[in-house]
Each structure stands twice: as C-alpha cells, then as structure tokens.
Structure 1
Amino acid sequence: MISVEHPSYLYLAAAVPVLAAGYLLRRRAQQQAHGQMLGAAPVSARLRQALRLLALAALVLALSNPQPRAQAAGPVPDQQPRRLVFVVDVSTSMLAADVLPDRLTQAKKVVAETVRGLPGREVGVVVFAGNAQLFQPLTTDAEVLSQACATIGPALVPRQGTSLAEALALAALVLKPTPQHRQVACVLSDGENHAPRYAALADSLSKAGLDIVAVGVGTPEGAAMYTQSRPGEEPRAKRDRRGQPIISRFQEASLRRMVQDRPGRYIRLDNWRSASASLRQALQKLDPSARPTADASPAQYFQWCLLAALVLLVAEFLVPLFHRIRA
C-alpha cells in the first residue's frame, strides 16, 4: 500500500488533463482557421505532447512524496523517548586538576553539550557527595539546564563522602522506570570510594527498568586535592596527618563494575567534546525511538518519480531526431 506525505500537491495533477484538452482545442482551432487543410497532427507531435504530460504527472507525484503505508503491528512496549537523569559527583575529589581545568568542570561541560544534542528529551540532574539531592527536575528546556549546570559545585552538598547508592535511588525515584518503559541514568564520577556493593545495586535497578551509563573523569596518575576556597582566596591543597598532599586517583574499575562491563555503557572522558559525542551515541542505542526502522525509505519512491520524469523529458527531446532518421 502506498500513501503520500503531502497530498495537497496532488491537486496539481488536474493540470495534466487541462493541458491535454487545451492541446486538442488548439489543434482543432488551427484546423478550422486553415479550412481543414492541416489534417491530423503528426505522430511525432502527439507523442511529444504525451511525453511532456507524463513527465509533468511524474513531477507532481514526486512533490507529493509517495511512501509505503505503515503496516499495523502488534503492541510495542516502549516507544516513547526515554527520560534521562545525570548523576553528577560533586565530592571534593572532583576538583582535582589531572584533567584541565578540573574534573568537575569537564563533567559539567559534558552534561551541557550532551543535552544540546537531545532536543525534546526530558532531562534532570542529581548531585551527590556524602548524600544526594535533586538539583534540576526533569525539563525539556536545554538552555535552562545548561545554565543550571554552570552553578554545580561541591558547595551544593556540604557533607563530604560518596553516596552513589542514594544518588541512584533518587534518580530512579525521579524517572519512575518500569521493565516495559525503561529509563536512563548517566553517572559522571571519578570512581573514588565507590563500594563494590554498588554493582549489585546497579544490577537490581537494571532489572527494575533503569539503564545506567557511566562517564569516568580523571587519570590513573591522579592529582592533588584542593579545598574549595572562598572568592578571592588562594586554593589550598588538602594534606594528610603527615603534611603530605592528598592525591586523588581515578578509579576506573569501580565504574566498569557498576555498568557490568556492558559494551557502550562506559565512556572514558579524554576531552568533553569527544565524550559528549560518545555519550549521545550510547543514549541513542538505548533509546528504541531513535533507532532507524527497516522499512523502505520514502526518498526511494521520490527519487524514482524524479528519474521517470527525467527519462520522459529526454525521450521527448529525442523524438524529432528519431523521426528524421526514419525519414
């Protein structure tokens, strides 16, 4: 079955019989004016006129964009774009400068850039350190969310630590996933102090309908940790009891365990642009509404109509040549 995307263009097809009738009336008027001396129109002239009209009909059909009619299918459980919550680590270890200017700034740029590439998607933000809190409720306004990301910092969660379990539970509460309508949480963290039990929690959340993607921020060599300074004050390095600077090292293994080493679920942040592009690709693979279907493309029929019009016009141009060769 065939349908058309722009049926209003089909009204232009009325021009085809009108032009045909106009040609016949013009021919009859010429015959009357010359006292019936013209006789019947040459075959080549009639053939050329028919080819022009057929080419016009093909162009009208191309404008209407014919395409396959969608076939009725059985119920599909998940066809809505999935909602997304970014779970951002704001512990003081995210201020380490092993990626410049620091881990947290890179993570915030990934969030803002990824959101711009997901128009119309409902997105929220949860921040966590010693506890978790909802920073940005679900919204489809990418500009509002991007501006909000600029204010994310450790001061939002004064209690230090790493309560990823609470953050994931809060993300699930916001998203309300089900096995039939799955949702997505994206964790951005350096992996420090992530207990092994978080992998079991992620597995249970996956069974409940929450897919987890992790973005690792930092380097294995790590960097010194700094306390968050007040405006105008120099940042101070955190030191242990012996007076040595505390080094924060990126713990990639804990993030991989959390996503159960599933392909495409873990992304290493080398720079925020490439990480954003990789994250969008991962989210598209998780979202069935973004996957291309196996049906024929409507452009295939559109192109065939244009090709038919071109062939007909070329044939109309060649008719006099063939007529002269035969003569």
Structure 2
Amino acid sequence: MFRFEEPTYLYLLLLLPIIAAFYLLSNYRRRKAIRSFGDPTLLAQLMPDVSKYRPDIKFWIIFAAIALFTVLLARPQFGSKLETVKRKGVEVIIALDISNSMLAQDVQPSRLEKSKRLVSRLVDELDNDKVGLIVFAGDAFTQLPITSDYISAKMFLESISPSLISKQGTAIGQAIGLATRSFTPQEGVGRSIIVITDGENHEGGAVEAAKDAAGKAIQVSVLGVGMPDGAPIPIEGSNDYRRDREGNVIVTRLDEGMCQEIAKEGKGIYVRVDNTNSAQKAISQEISKMSKADVESKVYTEYNEQFQAIAWIILVLLLIEMLILERKNPLFRNIHLFSNKK
C-alpha cells in the first residue's frame, strides 16, 4: 500500500511548469539577442568553445532534481504488510431510516440530513471501535459491513438517500434483526445498535427484535428524528408536498411512544433528535459506558520510508550537472565523430 505522509508538499509541483516556461522564454530571448549581433553560423565560428545544448541539458537535470526533491519532501511510503491489530474498543452498528418521511424538514435541514450529520460526528468520536451501517425503509440492507475504516464509513454515508430502497415503510424490526446478525463472532466485546428513525408507519416486530438483541447482550438505543407535531414531506425536485389519494398533504409525525418502547426492551436509551447536538452527545456518552475489549482490526502497518532511493537519484543528477561544463571541453574540441572528412 502506497501513500505520502506529507502530501501537501506535492502542491509545489505546480510551480514546475512556471519555472520551465520562464526558462524557455529566457532562452528564446537570449538566442534572439545573439542573432541580432550577426549571422549565427559566423558567430559560432568566432566562439568555438560555446556549447549550444549543454546549458539546456544542465537546466533540465536541475529541473528533474527539483521535481524529485518535491516528491521527497512529501515522504513517499509503502505499507510493508497487513497485520491484525488488537485495540480496546466496542462494536457499533447504526441502522438509519431512509424512508420518504425522513425528508420532512421539521428538523433542519431535514430529518435525513440531520441524521447523516449526527452519524458523521458520532463516527468522528469513535476511537479504536468498529462501526457498521445499515439502511432501511420497507426493506433493510447493509450499506457498510462492520469495520474500523472510519473514512469509508463517512464516504458511504454521503451517498445515502431514499432512492436506495424502492419499497417504502419503516421495517425497524428487520433492520434490528439484520444488525444483530452483523456483529463479529468475537467474544467479550461491547455491542450496540443505534436506530435512527422517525418511527412512522412501523411494520411490527421491532419490539420483539430489540428484546431478542438484548438477550444476546446487544444494546439497542433509538434516536427519534422529528417533532410530534409533524411536517409535510417535500417531493424532491419540486416545490410541492406528497399527498394522499384524496389530494390532502401528508403530514409525518415522530412516533415517540414506539421509539421509547423499542429502546426500553433493547436495554438502551431513547433520545429525540432536535436542532441541537444533544442527541449525539447523549449517545456518545452511552457508548463510552460500554465495556471495551480487544477489537481485532486488519490494518497496514510499518510504513517504510522510500526517500532513500529518491535522495540517491537526486545526488547523482546533481553530480552529473556539476561535471557537465557549459563550454566545450578543450581536450575534445578537435574530435568530430560524425563529421565528413574531405
């Protein structure tokens, strides 16, 4: 696995085209000035020791050395091997509701966007833990298997939208059941399922699934997104709202009673997600209380610095540049390997 430890230095490479352009322009002006003194062929005979190509060769050698030195500053590294690393942590699977009702804007900017931002901040606070991501509406599926790769978790999070699942509904029970089966088989690790939902159009089986998870030492907490007073569901790409068969605007409301019952049976906590960060803080505190055990993760370790080879190449280039004289060597002035003898 290859990486740069200090990739910011690579921006210096953007200066190289400017340096090259400046040199070519200066070279052009210099040769134009020489031509103004007289015939180039005659001038070449008057200055037999002047080399036409050596200054260019010396410049491009220095140019290459500067480019390689910039790469050297960025510290190229190779991961030598993939290792299993044990760290103290817990396992957390987030089950996120992506049904159309999560587009309601009683929580700004919307229930779904607020939930995604909450999950992002929650992932940022995880330390040596594993996280997985499940999305659900009328169906549930794994968006990201449980992993310690937080960058991938946040990347998958950005792509989540209601269009991922065509079947509408709120299959919380199915999501909890899938999450329960998605943990690693490792023993002694604290496990938690965090359900983020508005709880509307609940399809049944959620309370039973939470109770079953708690029986397996898996804590189920619920974050209720929205307001009990509710809000209309906007239609994406328009200024209108979703309507029922009679043409009335559909108002979606947070079902707190159902969310609280699931959390109670799951031995977890219930927190309403509003326009503050209180829900994220509450669930982070709950996770921190869980018993941590050695969590195994496969990671690339022992990144080896690769600057030595580049440094040697730079040194060789600089030595060559020093050995190349701008004028022709007097010892070889009269040697013409490719000239025709008359």
Same fold (TM over 0.5): yes
* Equivalent position of 2:278 in the other structure: 274
Paired residues for 1:182-261 under 5 Å: 182-195=190-203, 197-227=205-235, 229=236, 233-260=237-264
Higher strand share: 2
Q: Identify which of 282, 288, 300 aligns with 1:284.
A: 288
| Deviation per residue, 1:177-213 (Å, 9 max, x gap) | 6885441110000011225642122111110222111
Query: Which consecutive residues of structure 1, in runs of 5 or more, have no partner in the other structure?
Result: 1-78, 291-327
CA distance in 2, matches of 1:85, 1:165: 14
SS at match of 1:174: coil
Query: Which consecutive residues of structure 2, in runs of 5 or more, have no partner in the other structure?
Result: 1-86, 295-342
CA contact (8 A) 2:219 2:266 kept: no
Whether 1:106 aligns to 2:119 is no
Counterparts in 2 of 1:264 and 1:174: CA distance versus 1, 3 Å: closer
CA contact (8 A) 2:233 2:242 kept: yes
CA distance in 2, matches of 1:196, 1:179: 30
CA contact (8 A) 2:122 2:280 kept: yes
Q: Number of matched residues?
A: 208
SS at match of 2:200: coil
CA distance in 2, matches of 1:154, 1:226: 12
Identity of aligned residues (%): 31
Counterparts in 2 of 1:180 and 1:139: CA distance versus 1, 3 Å: closer
* Equivalent position of 1:308 in the other structure: none
CA contact (8 A) 1:196 1:254 kept: no
| Deviation per residue, 1:31-76 (Å, 9 max, x gap) | xxxxxxxxxxxxxxxxxxxxxxxxxxxxxxxxxxxxxxxxxxxxxx
* Equivalent position of 1:96 in the other structure: 104
CA contact (8 A) 2:223 2:270 kept: yes
| Deviation per residue, 1:119-140 (Å, 9 max, x gap) | 2211110000010111112222
**TM-score between both structures, scaled by the size of structure 2:** 0.56
Counterparts in 2 of 1:82 and 1:270: CA distance versus 1, 3 Å: same
* Equivalent position of 1:323 in the other structure: none
Paired residues for 1:7-18 under 5 Å: none
CA contact (8 A) 2:173 2:208 kept: no
Structure 1 residue 263, shift from structure 2 partner:
8.1
Higher helix share: 1
CA distance in 1, matches of 2:255, 2:186: 31
CA distance in 1, matches of 2:177, 2:166: 20
Whether 1:141 aligns to 2:142 is no
Structure 1 residue 80, shift from structure 2 partner:
4.9
Paired residues for 1:1-327 under 5 Å: 80-176=88-184, 180-195=188-203, 197-227=205-235, 229=236, 233-260=237-264, 265-271=269-275, 273-288=277-292
Counterparts in 2 of 1:169 and 1:176: CA distance versus 1, 3 Å: farther
CA RMSD of aligned residues (A): 2.3
